[in-house]
């Protein structure tokens, strides 16, 4: 289980998150929704160790891991697929998979990648940055399949993709959820995210304004979360 307790965090320009608490239970999908600038990406960066909070705790399976570096959190099963194609574009597909793979499992990771994403198997020696946007996102998402994660943090993995590719990406997310991996999902396709999620948090201006099961949220709450932020 991943738990964020009373997290405050930001950058040199100021505080972004203010006393945010969130829980990702085992074998559950949590959707983190909210308008642009709400702090969603910042929260994922905190959860994966890329950004140290100014206050609060990060708890993984009951252990306080606040201040641990990204590779240490990765060793504890936290996998972060960042916004904007989290790959090394100048390296080949195979090289990227080798970097994604859990220790000592490169050959098995190549096999898994080719089975889950056949296009990656067909482009193993291709420079990753020369593939289509959808193929690059598949390579980024492959990290969640080959790194033996416990909890996968997904930041706008459908952004900028054609509708057909978005359908494929959500199919992969369903597969991850069915396999028992916990997901913390930041997603622009709110309806799709709600269909997949067990729990929902809404973040607005750095604070949680809603937390509950996905079936508890109504259209008015979502409208207020997004349109209310624009009006203020």
pLDDT in tens, 134-174: 999 999 999 999 998 999 999 999 998 999 999 999 999 99
Spatial CA neighbour of 209 closest among 15, 32, 76? 32
| Domain locations along the chain | 2-77+150-231, 89-148
Categorize the per-residue pLDDT at 86 as very low, low, confident or very high, splitting at 50, 70 and 90.
confident
Phi and psi at 11, nearest 5°, equal -130, -175
Q: How is domain 2-77+150-231 classified at the architecture level of CATH?
A: 3-Layer(aba) Sandwich (3.40)
pLDDT tens figures, 213-232:
999 988 888 877 776 655 44
């Amino acid at each position: 289980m991943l738990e964020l307790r009373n997290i405050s965090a930001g950058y040199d320009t100021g505080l972004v998150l203010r006393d945010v608490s969130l829980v990702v239970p085992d074998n559950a999908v949590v959707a983190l929704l909210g308008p642009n600038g709400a702090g969603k990406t910042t929260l994922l960066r905190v959860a994966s160790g890329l950004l140290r909070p100014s206050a609060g705790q990060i708890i993984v399976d009951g252990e306080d891991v606040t201040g641990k570096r990204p590779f240490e959190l990765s060793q504890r099963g936290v996998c972060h697929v960042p916004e904007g194609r989290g790959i090394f574009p100048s390296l080949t597909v195979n090289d990227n998979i080798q970097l994604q793979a859990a220790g000592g499992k490169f050959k098995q990771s190549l096999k898994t990648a080719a089975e889950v994403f056949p296009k990656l198997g067909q482009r193993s020696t291709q420079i990753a940055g020369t593939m289509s946007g959808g193929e690059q996102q598949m390579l980024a998402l492959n990290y969640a399949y080959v790194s033996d994660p416990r909890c996968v943090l997904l930041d706008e993995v459908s952004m900028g993709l054609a509708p057909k590719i978005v359908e494929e990406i959500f199919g992969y997310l369903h597969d991850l959820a069915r396999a028992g991996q916990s997901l913390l999902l930041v997603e622009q396709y709110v309806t799709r995210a709600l269909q997949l999620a067990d729990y929902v948090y809404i973040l607005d201006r750095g604070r949680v304004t809603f937390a509950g099961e996905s079936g508890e949220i109504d259209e008015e709450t979502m409208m207020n979360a997004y349109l209310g932020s624009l009006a203020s």
